[in-house]
Structure 1
Amino acid sequence: MTTTADLESLLAGHEDDVLSPDTLAALDEREEFPDRAVRLLDDAGLPAHYVLTPDGDFSRTVRLLRTVARRDLTVAIAHGKTFLGAAPVWVAGTPDQAARLAERVRAGEAVCWGLTERDHGADLLASEFTAVAMADTGADGAGDTDRRSNGNGNDTGNSGSSSASGVGVGWRLTGEKWLINNATRSTLACVLARTDPAGGGRGFSLFLVDKNQLPQGSWRTLPKVRTHGIRGADISGFALADAPVPADALVGERGDGIAVVLKTLQLTRIACTALSLGAADHALRLARDFATGRELYGRRLADVPHVRRVLGRAAAAGLTVEAVSLLSARSVHTLPGELSVLSALTKAYVPTLTQQALASLGELLGVRGFLTSPPGGGFAKLERDHRICAIFDGSTVVNRTTLLHQMPRLARQLSRRRTDLAGLRAAADVTTPLPPFDPSRLTMLSVTGCSAVQALPELAARLRDQGPPQAGRLIDQVLTQIALLEGESAEFVPVAGGLPSSAFGLAEAYERAYAAAACLLLWLENPPLRTGRLGTDGLWLRACLTVLLGAEGGNATAVFDALADVVLTTPVTEFTLWGGAA
């Protein structure tokens, strides 16, 4: 299996050719797919990490994808989309489906996820793409004994055996999927289709469609859509017309489509944080290089107090979103029953804070932040590309709405202070081997709430005893904020017909509480994170809490200035809680 160190070394060796800023900028200008870079990642073995096996490590997949995103978001999005397309099979597929798909993913075949439609967007319950069981229509199952090559030299076909739903002959799919990443380039598509004309929560099913097995004329691709960011990505669509697929194309049971999608999103939303983490790494490097290489009125820009504060605050934001991503990614293994909450708040919080950090660094870069060609052109592209990250797999509003729908239960659990302490500590201690991923433990709603937020008062008390004295005032503020959150969440009552705008402030407060808990947990459970330049006197912890609390003034200025010192003298690939400077 590929390690992050291996991948980092490989990609660093191609920064003068395939991954050079000039090459990537030229591809972006021509809106051209990064073929060579994608082949490089295939050859490096990255696709194997998109196969979520029981003994795998989901957090490693996030770290690897971050390593790619640190170079170029278009490349990371174009390649990483295969994980999103394949994930429903890891969640609900049969062992045989998973084994067959795993073989093809490891071989580098692209998989897309066909959810959205031109006229319905993210409103999945309005989807018009249909699947009709051949047995239901009295069709003769034409093609059910056909054997066609799947492109790998293997013969496949529908032998007429029954699927898990009891339908024996197969299905015919009709409709259009649009704004789909890798819709044209993929050989496999996981498609949501209406299997009950009445629709509803049980009216949809998922199908893994092999384009190589479809009869000629039964499907076509739709033109690439021009986009503001990730211009070279294959954002397009496809249409099927009475396309026959075998019975074993059904993923999960008939009628389980929406449930499987919602459970799969619990994984993909966390995976998407890798894109934001990589963007933050890239932006911080560009800003650092600019600040150290430029003088203003005879003074190095890196020595200007305001510049140092901007760098320090952006770096603190980067470490904060890393802490959130780290805890959530490991919780896939240790707290799967809570992922309906964790994935939503993580996906809402990480891209939002990252985009704020990018905006501040763009102001620091000045006119260079707007250039589309070197020097400085890399920032304009990455900032533009990153904006889509807040929309992938549910926008920030969608995720906060998801969180608010569970707020009454979360409020009750917060007042009870109940936590899955074993699962929480296993997620936070990065040296603890992770238990196998068990998709059967994924749930639509979290019965236990959010252990990290519910443990926050106890974590703060522990940190008072074990933490750096310099963090005492910040811990007091954290306790004040969690008390306010407890009161406000207890009073919140969802109303029919939509949520008031004020409710979203409550969701944001809950996200910040989770982020604070992530930082405290990592500090308490990982002694190595208390050493080195970032750990001494709790520098990284104090900086993250300062960002979370929105603190300004003397203490905040001092901590950001100290963090800027580390940024200015540390390779950005090492500026991470995973290791290096930490």
Structure 2
Amino acid sequence: MPAFSLDPPQTAWCAELRTLAAERLRPLAEKGEPGHVNRALVAELGQLGLLERLFTSGAVDLCLMRESLAYACTEAETALALQGLGAHPVHAHGTPAQRDRWLPRVAEGTAIAAFALSEPAAGSDAAALELRAEAGLEEGPAEGLEEVPGEGLVTDPLPVESAPAAEPDGTARWRLTGEKCWISNAPEADFYTVFARTTPGAGARGVTAFLVPADRPGLGGTSLDMLSPHPIGALTFDAVPVTADDVLGEIDRGFRVAMGTLNLFRPSVGAFAVGMARAALDATLAHTAERDAFGGKLKDLQTVAHQVAEMALRTEAARLMVYAAATAYDEGAEDVPKRAAMAKLLATETAQYIVDQAVQLHGARALRRGHLLEHLYCEVRAPRVYEGASEVQRGIIAKELYAGREAAQ
């Protein structure tokens, strides 16, 4: 794979994104309520055409957007990323009716999307999820549902006997019962990509993805107060009705939908982390160049200069791995899961180190409320946990390495 470098149009676009984030998006972010969806900010992302690019561009462009926005406005970056994460399964696996109904509104910033995979007892071990999709056949629309023009997804015979027959008019029904937790944009999203167990005891092979509008009867939720100021909540499903027209992909093959989405977004989580690391590094360069200490500038102390050099080295290494993974995704390489895991792992762990060292070199001023580094310190911790914790990424890397060795023998 060729070494990654930005061409002049990409460099100019990134500079433009940083300016837009600072001048148009950050003021809207500052007016938002922490822990809640900022619809004005999302609408502005749509007005700028950035949300539409989630569906028309590749992984490299996604990473460029997330890194550039994160540098100047982490709230804008997160709002864009959550729209993409929640809506990508619809874009990649939805029926024409599902895509026509939701994707234009997501691109405009008028509909909020969410990706509902994690549960109270199934976070890192996503295949252990327990939200039940209990089968049952009814005639006519399920209670509380409106008919949506379109055709059902699954018309071929199913390999799993416990799955109900899926008819083109959506008369196959399930009732979703259980909980989801740590769901971004919940409970304020307009629709959710929900992963539920359709075949008990089948692990990852018995999970189905559903598109669930927020107004379905029996669907409720609460907000969670988290360290980072993102909109995150828990969802409750009390016999929420879904039909064959709500299935994304194939019955009992929903884990593929989840993993395909994560393989795309994990490198871009790394790009988010790199954007924060670069912001912390630039702030440190400015501070150490101007701060008087011990008869000179802080940068004149060898221990400080070497620390700044180490920060720059690690940031650039993480950045290169992120874009190598994104390029591999866009080129359809076979080792995308390994590269995506490596990119997320290295970049998020690196960003944690960079921000922490930046705080150390700034001293007490970085601990004050409202300081850039105080904000980044709160933001940088979560990416090491969500979309697969660092330990999960190491497990994926090891699994892929051993699988490659076995295949080569």
Query: Shorter-chain TM-score category?
Result: 0.7 to 0.9
1:113 aligns with 2:97: no
CA distance in 1, matches of 2:128, 2:61: 36
CA 1:219/1:330 → structure 2, altered by over 3 Å: closer, same or farther? same
Structure (1 or 2) with the larger CA radius of gyration:
1
The answer to whether the Cα contact below 8 Å between 1:175 and 1:240 also exists between their aligned partners in 2 is yes
Q: Which has the higher strand share?
A: 2
Q: Does 1:407 align with 2:406?
A: no
Return the offset for 1:146. Answer: 5.5
Q: Which amino acid aligns with 1:332?
A: Y
1:207 aligns with 2:197: no
Tell me how far 1:162 sits from its aligned partner. Answer: 6.4
Name 2:133's counterpart in structure 1.
131
Aligned to 1:382: 376
Tell whether the 8 Å contact from 1:225 to 1:235 is kept in structure 2 after alignment. Answer: yes
Partner of 1:478: none
Contact persistence 1:144–1:246 (CA under 8 A)? no
TM-score (norm 2): 0.85
Cα distance between partner residues in 2 of 1:368 and 1:392: 29
Which of the residues 175, 178, 195 maps onto 1:175?
A: 178
1:410 and 1:144 map into 2 onto residues whose CA distance is: 49
> Are residues 286 and 341 of structure 1, via their aligned partners in 2, closer, same or farther at CA, if it must alter by over 3 Å?
same
2:160 paired residue number: none
Rounded Cα–Cα distance in structure 1 between residues aligned with 2:150 and 2:81: 33
CA distance change for structure 1 residues 253 and 394 in 2, over 3 Å: closer, same or farther? same
Residue 219 (structure 2) aligns with = 219
- Tell me which residue corresponds to 2:88: 87
Q: Tell me which of 185, 189, 199 is aligned to 1:186.
A: 189
C-alpha spacing 1:275/1:167, structure 2 compared with 1 (3 Å): same
Which amino acid in the other structure matches residue 4 of structure 1? C
1:497-534 Cα shifts (integer Å, max 9, x gaps): xxxxxxxxxxxxxxxxxxxxxxxxxxxxxxxxxxxxxx
Q: 1:146 to 1:99 in 2, by over 3 A?
A: closer
Q: Distance in 1 between matches of 2:94 and 2:26?
A: 42
Measure, in 2, the Cα distance between the counterparts of 1:358 and 1:399.
Answer: 21
**Residues 181 and 235, structure 1, Cα contact 8 Å, conserved in 2:** yes
Stretches of structure 2 that go unaligned for 5 or more consecutive residues are 1-9, 157-164
1:11 equivalenced with 2:8 (yes/no): no
Mapped to 1, the partners of 2:140 and 2:178 lie a distance apart of 19
Q: Give the deviation of 1:300 after TM superposition.
A: 1.9
The alpha-carbon distance between structure 1 residues 33 and 262, as it changes in their structure 2 partners (threshold 3 A), is closer
> Using the alignment, how far apart are the partners of 2:33 and 2:284 within structure 1?
23
Could you tell me how far apart the structure 2 residues matched to 1:258 and 1:162 are?
Answer: 16
Q: Verify the 8 A CA contact 1:328 1:343 in the aligned structure 2.
A: yes
Deviations 1:129-177 (A, max 9, x none): 12234xxx23234438953xxxxxxxx5267856346512143222221
Question: Counterpart amino acid of 2:176?
Answer: L
Shift of 1:337: 2.1
Compute the RMSD of aligned alpha carbons. Answer: 2.8
Amino acid at match of 2:66: L
Structure 1 CA distance, aligned partners of 2:261 and 2:25? 34
Q: Does 1:50 align with 2:51?
A: no
1:576 maps to which residue?
none
In structure 2, distance between residues paired with 1:247 and 1:289: 57
Q: 1:283 to 1:164 in 2, by over 3 A?
A: farther
**Take 1:160 and 1:273, find their aligned partners in 2: how far apart are those partners?**
38
Q: Distance in 1 between matches of 2:25 and 2:285?
A: 18
TM superposition shift of 1:411: 4.1
User: Per-residue CA shift, 1:55-114, capped at 9, x if unaligned?
Assistant: x33211111111221123344223311111122234433455445443232121221111
1:391-419 C-alpha deviation (Å, 9 max, x unpaired): 1210111111111122223346xxxxxxx
- CA offsets, 1:218-252, max 9 Å, x none? 21122x11112x22x11102222222223221011
